[in-house]
Chain A
């Protein structure tokens, strides 16, 4: 039996965090009343013109720098033409020949401790389309409705090289990318709200073959799990096609999460000719080396560097450091807590603080399906609890009682310790009395 290798490239659409849309001043809020965040410009009325929101460019560039991209000093917007009712102009303003950023890479941590590098081909800026609402199965409503609130929301499309080799790597890539983009603050990357969407180009080839097989593009995945499932399913489907003597055809397939299967949407022959050409309503984006440098300096410490620093300066294990830096909010919580300690005491405090944070606090929060932002115990309170332990005021058994009280009733650890009389007694004389 032939062994196959899967070859996967991802196209990830990420909504950039801006207050207003990419080419007009409408707000970008999610979940508002349909068609309440629109104007003549984003609705494509006759005679309107787009004006670029510079914040969208800046956020894209910051994200691109975080994945090591080269920023094109001059980039151009192009019109991508196709007819669809969620696209008011019947062309999407996007980028084609000259995207804002090219040639980056993302390092994905592996269970083995090694790092897998996925190259990023390009990152370009474009406007989002609207949303169609279909009254499926209704006799009274034999038409569809269009909500244009999302039309013109700024997106960046991050296109990877076909460097991914398994469904797990695909979801790990997305997970790592999401963490990084949240760190940078370029996007919320909330897949459920559609602020991060992913299409996968999947092909297979016999192990050892270097040329690429025919690929299918799989669309409509809205969670990490669905990306993993859809890619796994598509690989299995292609292997089955080939094994039964068939040939994989180039096509676009839609993932159906409920069925756990992909369906053909359109073949290569039916593929659009987008008739790209430079948008004459917009001038090229020119970025000076100085401005790119300013944006680079605005980047926070990125997870990889932060992780390394935790190992190096705080003596944490690779595992602990990785857990703490997986989310920026978690790492920020940890550091705020750690900063309650005097500098020389921090190295000693790091490990117990990490344990209390990731095991106790996160454990309790997860059980209640709460996020760290909703924690009843503040970073300062958690730090003070660990201080009491390290200073020998309470033992770890008492600490659990105090923590439980902090979590359920609230309050500062010292107050609780006093109120409950939990001070550890290590004076022999006291005990002997």
Chain B
């Protein structure tokens, strides 16, 4: 059975209507994944038995006349930094290679209750630090559009899995672009919700003040459907917001008549791929032709975004990753003969070079005598960046930008140059610093057939307007394509 062209909404509707069995859906996607994923390597682990058991439970509910939920029988791929009871949660790190989660993340609980089926855990850059999945301790995921290229990162496995239709939906996490950048490079829809919209409980923390969990999907409507399940205040996460969750799907049909779209002049920079720039400008023209008005806006502190991010994120990470010490769980070096050696060897052998680099950066920035010059100053500039957006959103409803400066790059092309790699997040980082919702969706293809991403940024807790603009654009354009599987 070929179900890969169905959206998540289609699948759930058909399963609820008994037109499809959840078991057949799960088997179909697992079969497809077991085949193509040998090349793409989006998954770190599969959970066939557990997935089929979940699917059977959905089918039993349907047979008994109970509603299994809005994601009835929909396979979901889960980034491997989210805890799912009884499954390995590795964060693509050697230090957690054999760690089995002993509780469910809140988003996982919610997905279970909504009838979703977990087919496997997806690859990422170690502890979500990176933009290509090349920092995974296990292997690099390949871009389904061109397997010599990376899928982006850090949620590269989830993006590639959805792009190749190995799963109709996936969960990612986004700290500086880790959902949107791979969504752009793989040609799918990816959303980073407003900070506080989705509970972080059960997401292995990278940078707590920036991390958000969000959906990958093939359509804007599916992203809205999945966010509906994920969103809401969680008593287990003090930073999750007590704000009402609107009906996101209801916003999809609003259209863009009279919508004010801002185009930030600082986001069209030198050194950016002209094909990307052209596609994004064309997308804005399309929105205009659909009734939106376009206005240039200025976000003057954009330049500082990358620097601020690379102080704050590593600072928080240096503390968040201190718990991986070989004492209670995770990797413990067999060479250690003392407590200090247990710490030093376990962490030295367990963490990869990028993770170590960021722990050192953060440790330095928080050190006595440097705190004011780095961490405190970065927090102040972060406030300025947020104020830039506040000001811009006084005159526009959404802001349109490229998601990444280039389409997917070759594996190995940037992996020796951290600064070049960091630059691929230059357009996505400010959104996290300001806590805004940001969505990436395909807006064209390069001459060599690689997808290009359009980023739409909204006001805090206004995912609805972002969805409305994205949905209108999606309906008017032909970019929702499926890469062809080599024979």
Report which A residues bind B (CB closer than 8 A). Answer: 40, 43-52, 79, 81, 83, 85, 88-91, 146, 273, 275-277, 280-283
Q: How far is the CB of B282 from chain A (nearest CB, A)?
A: 39
Q: A40-B102, A275-B363 are in contact. Are A52 and B368 (CB under 8 A)?
A: no
When distances are taken between beta carbons in the complex, the residues of chain B under 8 Å from A49 are 200-201, 236-239
Q: How far is A347 from B91 in the complex, measured between Cα atoms in Å? A: 74
CB <8 Å contact, B201 and A47:
yes
- How close is A226's CB to chain B, nearest CB, in angstroms? 27
Chain B positions 283-329 with a Cβ under 8 Å from a chain A Cβ: 315-316, 318-319, 322-325, 327-329
Chain A residues lying within 8 Å of B238, measured Cβ to Cβ, are: 49-52, 281-283
For A47, what are the chain B residues with a Cβ–Cβ distance below 8 Å?
81-83, 89, 101, 105, 201-205
A85 engages B366 (CB within 8 Å): no
Q: Are A46 and B239 in contact (CB under 8 A)?
A: no
Q: Answer yes or no: B138 CB below 8 A from chain A CBs.
A: no
Minimal Cβ-Cβ distance residue in B for A82: B322
User: A280 near B327 (CB under 8 angstroms)?
Assistant: no
B154 CB → nearest A CB, Å: 16
Task: Indicate if B446 sits at the interface (CB-CB under 8 A).
Answer: no
Tell me which residues across on chain A come within 8 A of B201, comparing CB atoms: 47-49
Check: B235 CB closer than 8 A to any chain A CB: yes
Determine the distance from Cα of A282 to Cα of B208 in the docked complex, in whole angstroms. 10
Rounded to whole Å, the gap between the CB of B402 and the closest CB of chain A is: 29
Using known A-B contacts A50-B238, A81-B322, A83-B343, determine if residue A45 contacts B205 with beta carbons closer than 8 Å.
Answer: no
Contact surface of B with A, Cβ cutoff 8 Å: 81-83, 89, 91, 96, 99, 101-103, 105, 200-205, 207-209, 235-239, 315-316, 318-319, 322-325, 327-329, 339, 343, 363, 366-368, 371, 375
Residues of A within 8 A of B200 (CB): 49
Given contacts A47-B82, A51-B236, 20 further A-B contacts (CB under 8 A): A45-B102, A47-B81, A48-B201, A49-B236, A51-B237, A79-B319, A81-B366, A85-B325, A85-B327, A90-B322, A90-B325, A275-B318, A275-B363, A275-B368, A277-B319, A277-B366, A280-B209, A280-B239, A281-B208, A281-B239
Residue of A43, A44, A275 near B367 (CB, 8 A) is: A275
Of all chain A residues, which has the CB nearest B315? A277
Q: Which residue of A is nearest B102, CB measured?
A: A40
Q: How far is the CA of A47 from the CA of B207 in the complex (A)?
A: 11
Per the bound structure, the CA–CA distance linking A281 and B316 in Å amounts to 10
Given the contacts A277-B319, A277-B371, A146 and B99 also touching, CB distance less than 8 Å: no
The listed residue (B103, B208, B239, B366) touching A40 by CB distance below 8 A is: B103
Chain B contact residues: over half helix, strand or loop, or mixed? loop
Asked whether, in the complex, the Cβ of B323 is within 8 Å of the Cβ of A89, the reply is: yes
Q: With a CB–CB cut-off of 8 A, which chain B residues contact A277?
A: 315-316, 319, 366, 371, 375
Complex CA distance for A319 and B170, rounded to whole angstroms: 75
Q: Which chain A residue lies CB-closest to B235?
A: A51
Q: A85, B371: Cβ atoms under 8 Å?
A: no
- Chain B CB count within 10 A is highest, among A46, A50, A89, A281, for A46
Which B residues lie within 8 Å of A79 (CB)? 319
Q: Which residues of A contact B91 (CB under 8 A)?
A: 46
On chain B, the residues within 8 Å of A83 by CB distance are: 322, 325, 343
The 8 Å CB contact of A46, one of B237, B323, B327, B343, is: B323
> How many Å lie between the Cα of A146 and that of B205 in the bound state?
24
10 cross-chain pairs, A with B, having the tightest CB-CB distances, nearest first: A90-B322, A280-B209, A280-B208, A275-B366, A46-B204, A47-B202, A47-B204, A273-B368, A44-B323, A89-B323
Q: Which residues of B contact A88 (CB under 8 A)?
A: 323, 327-328
Query: Which residues of chain A come closer than 8 Å to B96, judged between CB atoms?
Result: 46
The smallest beta-carbon distance between B375 and chain A, in angstroms, is 6
Give the complex CA separation of A43 and B323 in angstroms.
10
Most buried by A among B105, B236, B238, B363: B238
Query: Would you give the shortest CB distance from A81 to chain B, in whole angstroms?
Result: 6
**Chain B contacts for A146, CB-based, 8 A:** 327-328
In the complex the two chains form, what is the Cα distance from A48 to B363 in whole Å?
Answer: 22
Supply 14 A–B pairs (Cβ within 8 Å), ascending by A.
A40-B102, A46-B101, A48-B202, A49-B237, A79-B319, A91-B319, A273-B367, A275-B363, A277-B315, A277-B375, A280-B208, A280-B316, A281-B205, A281-B208
